[in-house]
Amino acid sequence: MKLADKVKFITSTLEDLYPEPDIPLNHKNNFTFLVAVMLSAQSTDKKVNEITPKLFQIANTAKEMNELEMDEIKEIIREIGLAPTKAKNIKKMSKQLLENHNGEVPNTFEELEELAGVGHKTASVIISQAFNKPAFPVDTHIHRLAFRWGLSSGKNVITTEKDLKQIFEEKLWNKLHLQIIFYGRQWCQARKKKCGCTICTEIQKT
């Protein structure tokens, strides 16, 4: 299958399955969304959504979060992977927002990546989903599927992001990010050595 045909088939299949994909992390505003994305690293969205209601009931702004002791945050999120580190980063990030951004989440990669615990992938999610600016966050699902579908070499997430941005139209990036994640979770899981999902089957024909 030629690359152009592959891209057309993938995008049309995903559009049929997930025409209006919702953000899977529950949040109240851009600040709580940033916290939820930070918590989701090496954890599941399901677990994050179980933990955050209690946290956000107590603190859903940078000011309120900064007023909590780090141990309070850590206790609430204790069931999340890397809880001590994440609690430390959330506390520090909240203070940085207050000191440098009037408590508001910034909308540039440079400013986001200066925040504690915020790497390129987290910044990409915020840029694309909170501010609707073009970005293509690459998580483990997207990295895996891009390799399975022959869209990238699978070398690393940086290469995968670069390859996908070259292959797909910029206007599709934000939506595709969610669509591919949902597809990977539902149909094209990592445990399958040879996947028989719709997209893999079609691609493997040629």
**Cβ contacts of 154-161, under 8 Å, gap ≥ 24:** 157/121, 161/124, 161/136, 161/137
Helices (H), 59-172: 62-67, 70-76, 83-101, 109-112, 120-125, 140-148, 157-167
Is the distance from CB of 105 to CB of 97 less than 8 angstroms? Answer: yes
Helices and strands, counts by H and E, the chain? 12, 0
Q: Which residue has the tokens 């940086």?
A: 158
Identify whether 121 is a catalytic site residue. yes
Is the distance from CB of 58 to CB of 64 less than 8 angstroms? Answer: yes
For residue 45, the one-letter residue type is D
Which member of 47, 133, 139, 165 is catalytic?
139
Which member of 121, 133, 162, 165 is catalytic?
121
**C-alpha to C-alpha distances, 174 to 112, 115, 170, 190, nearest whole angstrom:** 18, 22, 8, 23
Identify whether 175 is a catalytic site residue. no
Is the distance from CB of 126 to CB of 112 less than 8 angstroms? Answer: yes
**C-alpha to C-alpha distances, 41 to 26, 34, 55, 75, nearest whole angstrom:** 15, 12, 17, 18
Residues recognised as catalytic: 121, 139
